Structure 1
Amino acid sequence: MLVFDLGPLTDLPLARTAVDRDADARVRPDLFSELAAEPGSRVLALWNGKTLMDGDSIALHDSAVAGQADLLCYLGRIVTPGSQADIGAAVTLAVLTDAAAAAIEPDPERWLSLREIGHFLGAGDSALMTAAVALANFHGSHGHCPRCGTATAPSLAGWMRLCPSCQNQVFPRTDPAVIVLVLDDDDRLLLGSNVLWPEGRYSLLAGFVEAGESLEQAVVREIAEESGLPVEYPVYLGSQPWPFPRSMMIGLSARVVSGHDPDALLPDGAEIVDLRWLSRDQLRQEAGTLLLPGPTSIARSLIELWLVADGGPGIEASARAASADAAATRA
């Protein structure tokens, strides 16, 4: 049996942070007016879940942009790198209407999503953009009170919605989901293809944690449902928010129960239509053609963690080598 030390995951793209959320300020009734008058206060503009870039950084605007917003949320203060005590500019999220967004930047191609940019953002930008998308999605889907049906209104600087009828307080919800590096005794990795994906796209198996269920129980249940395999020894590796619309992806590893045939695969057919075991060498050989998760996702980080555990090249280096080999063969 080959056993590699796989943990823990570090520097996950959407788990980076250099922002003080400054939660105590949210209760101030005139907070947004105060921030608009504060020198150096900045605004993150969001339109349809997308923002603008200034080079490799998120474009932050002056407070005038906040006056064009459909929704304002206070994101906190940027922490100066290297000094947790040095708290800098305040940043407000401004969710824009189509007209307001076009007034800032009329070219829709220049507005970019978190999926596209998350992997190369610095810690401050990553924290700001992830929270911004999560809050925008929350407000977009909680316009009415779940208790009495009355229209709710933003409160607590965008971190709550309040029902004016029954005073019910509705907070942003996070749905935990497990995503699993399933390994066998030969240290092969199990990848699955979802029914909704294009041909050739594979990722790790994942699923939401059900009510009354622990993370470990969710791992065992989900893998059995989607692959027919019994697994054991779930080990936590890391987590990151995934605000599409409100998930927390919790990465774990697990191994097929000893003595069980790992090749006795049974995809559920409803969600998973194909399953493959891959060794490290096989994944490196196919890295140029296999459609793997994008670099912003924790799935990509988990696969990379497993792939380089033997000291060999990672996904990008393997893809370049595979492409070079294919070009040489064609020549």
Structure 2
Amino acid sequence: MDDYILFQPSVKPLHNEDEGDYWFLFRDDKLMVYEKDGKISIPRRKDVLKLNISIYNIQCMGAYFGYNCYCGEFVDILDDEKNKLMDLKTLSKSIEENYYYLASKAKLLLNWLKSNQYCGRCGSKMHMKDSKSERAMVCSMCNNTTWPRTSPAIIVAVTKGDKLLLAHNRQFPNGRYSVIAGFVEYGETLEECVKREVYEEVGIKVRNIKYFGSQPWPFPNSMMIGFTAEYLDGEIKVDGDEIIDANWFTKEEVLRMHNKSISLGSQLIEWFIKTY
């Protein structure tokens, strides 16, 4: 396979079983990783077999560069010092970007599977649909069918001249500021969500909304859709509920505050730094 499409999603394995197949295994929402000489990697089939652990909720995710990818969960205690448990936010700072996104896919898939064990319509037990091409949970009584879903959320870098709008969320650590973000309401366009979220959280209006990029965000099942926008009108007035402080910051101020990461919010801030 060439590098045009790196990951091929699939319900069933696309290749013969191989020692190099990837296994994304979670315990208590933390991913098992393999560490050697200070380098973090994803365990392969040959590594997992050596551990002799019991794995449940096993799902085939698809294939990456000719190797099958699986995800699952386990409860066993790891007695191999080379294998460690790591939360995904920490992982994002320790591993190559494509592997982080694969781990995110695994977490999203397992979250969906665990959240749909019982039918939301009649309460009966759900089971995995037997299909080579369709991933779905089906109710054993009323046939209600549920497919993997993701919750869209916008994240936007708002500029005013040569300054960037940054806000401090109540849940952030002291001193941390970021761009505005929020979930899309049902029946709402992405652009409408950008306008509403910025206005609700900091009281200003924006214009010239432009698409920037997207990123799966498995906390627990979001898709972050990034935008840039320009200030139109109003004075900053934080909502006092979610946002407790916000202000316009110069490039020099942003550089002193910014901690680079793999997140889309970080990418938007870096866009501002490079552009202004």
Q: Work out whether the TM-score is over 0.5.
A: yes
1:136 aligns with 2:110: yes
Summarize deviations over 1:94-153 as a string: whole Å, max 9, x none: 211x22xx1465899x21122112255336523421211111111222221111111222
Larger Rg: 1
Q: Which residue of 2 aligns with 1:315?
A: none
CA contact (8 A) 2:19 2:44 kept: no
> Which residue number in structure 1 is paired with residue 143 of structure 2?
167
| CA 1:281–1:205: 2 relative to 1, 3 Å | same
Q: CA deviation at 1:40?
A: 3.1
Letter of the 2:64 partner, please give it.
Answer: I
Change (3 A) 1:283 1:256: same
Q: Which one of the candidate residues 160, 176, 184 is aligned to 1:201?
A: 176
Q: Would you say the 8 A contact 2:33–2:40 is kept in 1?
A: no
Shift of 1:234: 0.7
Q: Does 1:73 align with 2:59?
A: yes
Contact kept? 2:178, 2:265, Cα under 8 Å? yes
Aligned positions, number = 264
1:227, 1:193 → 2: CA distance? 11
Q: Structure 1: which 4+ aligned runs deviate by more than 6 Å?
A: none
Structure 1 residues 117 and 217, CA gap change in structure 2 (3 angstroms): same
CA RMSD of aligned residues (A): 2.8
Q: Which amino acid aligns with 2:34?
A: M
Could you say which residue in structure 1 is the equivalent of 2:87? 113
- The CA distance in 2 between the partners of 1:76 and 1:234, in whole Å, is 35
Q: 1:94 aligns with which of 72, 77, 81?
A: 72
Structure 1 residues 152-188: Cα deviation after superposition (integer angstroms, max 9, x where no partner): 223458932221111121111111111010111x221
Task: Say whether the 8 Å CA contact 2:18–2:45 is kept in structure 1.
Answer: no
1:18 aligns to 2:9 (yes or no): no
Cα 1:188–1:159 shift into 2, 3 Å = same
Structure 2 counterpart SS, 1:130: helix
The match for 1:296 among 257, 262, 266 is: 262
The correspondence for 1:248, drawn from 220, 223, 226, is 223
Aligned CA distance change for structure 1 residues 104 and 137 (closer, same or farther; 3 Å): farther
Instruction: Give per-residue Cα distances to partners, 1:166-223, cap 9 Å, x unaligned.
Output: 1121111111111010111x22100111112222111111111111111111111111
Structure 1's 140 and 226: CA in aligned 2 closer, same or farther, altered over 3 A? same
Task: Indicate which of 210, 214, 229 corresponds to 2:189.
Answer: 214
Instruction: Give % identity.
Output: 29
Choose between structure 1 and 2 for higher RCO, CA contacts under 8 A separated by at least 6 residues.
Answer: 1
Unpaired segments ≥5 residues, structure 1? 1-15, 80-87, 311-331
The residue correspondences of 1:149-164 to structure 2 (distance < 5 A) are 149-155=123-129, 156=131, 159-164=135-140
Residue in structure 1 matched with residue 240 of structure 2 by the alignment: 269
- The structure whose residues are more often strand, as a share, is 2
